[in-house]
């Protein structure tokens, strides 16, 4: 709908203060899109694909050459520019799609899971590129992803949808902080069974990973819990407390009826 491919059944869309339905061509000159799941014409080379796209957005001549080389060099695919798209790997294709989306100095970019199925190093490179474009050119980016760590890294504001309804809008850290339960990890040399028994007696969820007891507990109650452990002469050699993350918020929200 934001690209004009589908018409909304109700409601309206505005770009730059104007009704999208009445100013579709004008708006789309400043809006671009990239997705891991959409492919470019496979018989054309990387250069040819980007040249066609640049022409559509009136990015030509030296400006096109300079931007294309800059992006392809950044992504490490400059030497692939004369290959047809069907000769590229999935990771290379994704990087070309991103170069295409940012080529025409867009004001708004819609990114649909741009790092899905990518190796961690390439995904990191993609996130770095997105943040760099936002900082350098002030591009507004609508970023959809199921990777909550990635969302926390990239996004200023997060919107959660559930059954078609908006259920939360806030910055990632504020949403994560709204989760009261933390994970406390205790490395135990002796007395692991006693810690498990003690945690269950306090109605606290507990799991075991090798010699580590992982206890879910309200952050406000950690000090009290540790004091009671000391009273019971239950000792541990290390402690770590995992702060709630955006993924914890997502899981909490998905489990709520």
Q: Which CATH number does the domain housing residue 130 bear?
A: 3.40.50.300
- Residue 125 inside a domain? The answer is yes
Q: Nearest CA to 75 among 94, 101, 58?
A: 94
Out of 156, 190, 205, pick the residue that ends a domain: 156
Tokens of 248: 């914890």
- CA distances 210 to 133, 192, 193, 238, 256, Å, are 44, 10, 12, 14, 31
Is residue 164 left, alpha or beta, with left meaning phi > 0 and alpha meaning psi from -120 to 50? left
For residues 97 and 28, membership in a common domain is answered with yes
Q: Is the pLDDT score of 183 beyond 90?
A: no
- Residue 170 inside a domain? The answer is no
- CA distances 155 to 99, 127, 144, 246, Å, are 20, 10, 10, 12
For residues 150 and 181, membership in a common domain is answered with no
Number of domains in the chain: 2
Q: Count of CB atoms within 10 A of residue 137's CB? A: 11
Q: Nearest CA to 172 among 161, 186, 187, 156?
A: 156
Packing angle, helices 61-74 and 90-102, rounded to 10: 140
* The pLDDT of residue 81: 94
- Domain of residue 230 covers 176-255
For residues 182 and 55, membership in a common domain is answered with no
- Residue 122 inside a domain? The answer is yes
For residues 148 and 201, membership in a common domain is answered with no
- Residue 250 inside a domain? The answer is yes
Q: Is the pLDDT score of 200 beyond 80?
A: yes
Q: Is the pLDDT score of 179 beyond 90?
A: no
* Cα–Cα distance measured from residue 77 to residue 81, given in angstroms and rounded to the nearest whole number: 7
For residues 32 and 101, membership in a common domain is answered with yes
For residues 116 and 189, membership in a common domain is answered with no
* The pLDDT of residue 197: 85
Out of 156, 191, 209, pick the residue that ends a domain: 156
Q: What digits encode the pLDDT tens for the residues 81-90?
A: 999 999 998 8
Q: What digits encode the pLDDT tens for the residues 141-155?
A: 999 998 999 999 999
For residues 144 and 215, membership in a common domain is answered with no
Q: What digits encode the pLDDT tens for the residues 5-62?
A: 999 999 999 999 999 999 999 999 999 999 888 888 999 999 999 999 999 999 999 9
For residues 125 and 237, membership in a common domain is answered with no
* The pLDDT of residue 39: 84
Q: Count of CB atoms within 10 A of residue 142's CB? A: 14
Domain of 200, CATH number, reads 3.30.70.120
Q: What digits encode the pLDDT tens for the residues 226-236?
A: 888 888 787 78
For residues 86 and 150, membership in a common domain is answered with yes
* The pLDDT of residue 257: 55
* Cα–Cα distance measured from residue 123 to residue 114, given in angstroms and rounded to the nearest whole number: 8
Q: What one-character DSSP code corresponds to residue 237? A: S
For residues 119 and 246, membership in a common domain is answered with no
């Amino acid at each position: 709908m934001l690209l004009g491919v589908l018409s909304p059944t109700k409601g309206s869309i505005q770009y730059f203060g104007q009704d999208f339905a009445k100013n579709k061509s004008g708006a789309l000159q400043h809006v671009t899109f990239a997705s891991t799941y959409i492919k470019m014409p496979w018989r054309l080379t990387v250069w040819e694909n980007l040249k066609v796209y640049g022409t559509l957005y009136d990015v030509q001549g030296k400006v096109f050459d300079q931007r294309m080389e800059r992006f392809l060099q950044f992504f490490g695919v400059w030497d692939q520019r004369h290959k047809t798209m069907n000769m590229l790997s999935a990771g290379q294709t994704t990087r070309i799609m991103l170069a295409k989306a940012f080529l025409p100095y867009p004001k708004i970019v819609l990114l649909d899971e741009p790092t899905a199925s990518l190796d961690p190093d390439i995904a990191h490179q993609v996130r770095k590129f997105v943040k760099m474009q936002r900082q350098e050119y002030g591009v507004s980016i609508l970023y959809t992803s199921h990777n909550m760590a990635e969302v926390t890294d990239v996004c200023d504001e997060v919107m959660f949808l559930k059954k078609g309804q908006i259920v939360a809008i806030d910055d990632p850290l504020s949403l994560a902080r709204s989760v009261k339960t933390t994970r406390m990890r205790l490395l135990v040399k002796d007395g692991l069974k006693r810690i498990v028994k003690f945690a269950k007696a306090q109605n606290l969820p507990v799991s075991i990973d090798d010699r580590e007891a992982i206890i879910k507990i309200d952050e406000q109650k950690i000090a009290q819990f540790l004091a009671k452990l000391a009273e019971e002469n239950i000792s541990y050699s290390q402690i770590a407390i995992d702060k709630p993350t955006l993924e914890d918020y997502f899981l909490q929200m998905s489990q709520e009826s």
